[in-house]
Amino acid sequence: DAGVIQSPRHEVTEMGQEVTLRCKPISGHNSLFWYRQTMMRGLELLIYFNNNVPIDDSGMPEDRFSAKMPNASFSTLKIQPSEPRDSAVYFCASSLAPRLRYTFGSGTRLTVV
Amino acid sequence: GQQVMQIPQYQHVQEGEDFTTYCNSSTTLSNIQWYKQRPGGHPVFLIQLVKSGEVKKQKRLTFQFGEAKKNSSLHITATQTTDVGTYFCAGTMNRDDKIIFGKGTRLHILP
């Protein structure tokens, strides 16, 4: 089992650029979650999908953030345009169901300069 | 909104001392999970508690779920340097369908 796979591991981009983060959940997991972690705010849930359908996007900061899950094995989180305050570690996690144990990916460390 | 409160935020202990972190919710939880995140790493699932008053042990770690299912604790006996990291509790509210993470307790071990 390769676990939850995220790419890239690190991303440095200039303010105003579009950033796309990618996630491959564990095969068979029906729920996928995007989190953002910073020192100030801790671990924040941005959005989660169940069976590829977005269920709760109340944590998405603003319209600059969007997430898609076109199929059961792939999801993207896009920031357009990016801003320095978006700098954080973004984690993707998956689980068999929203209430069951989550498996996190290694994260993408995003730096917007 | 619904929150899971965790204390303390930080804890420094001498190696060999015990450590406890506490998790509280104003709402009854259907279950509580605990995760550990090593510095520079990602949260890793440790355990899930479901029953009122449940106690589970993993070597030097003891996890408890309160009788009212509104609080939980993680106790580490005789800490070691490998215990360094942030410990998160995460609870599911009865009416909710996702888990809510606490802010975590960051544990530092002094040699």
Least confident range of A37-46, B26-35, B49-58, B95-104: B95-104
Does A56 sit within 8 Å of B48, measured CB to CB? no
Quick one: pLDDT at residue B109?
Answer: 95
Indicate the pLDDT class of residue A99, thresholds 50, 70 and 90: confident
DSSP single-letter state for residue B83? G
Question: What is the reported pLDDT for A21?
Answer: 98
**Non-local CB neighbours of A75 within 8 Å, separated by 6+ positions:** A22, A23, A25, A32, A34, A49, A67, A68, A69, A92
Report CB contact under 8 Å: A91, B88. no
Q: Is any Cβ of chain B less than 8 angstroms from the Cβ of A90?
A: no
What are the tens digits of pLDDT across the range A3-43?
Answer: 999 999 999 999 999 999 999 999 999 999 999 999 888 89
Q: How close A45 gets to chain B, by Cα (Å)?
A: 8
Q: Residue A92, Cβ neighbours under 10 Å: how many?
A: 30
Tokens matching residue A15: 């303010």
* Tokens encoding B91: 């609870």
Q: Share the mean pLDDT of chain A.
A: 95
pLDDT at A112 over 80: yes
Share of chain B above pLDDT 90, in %: 86
**Residues on B contacting A at a C-beta cutoff of 8 Å:** 30-31, 33, 35, 41-45, 48, 88, 90, 92, 97-99, 101, 103-104
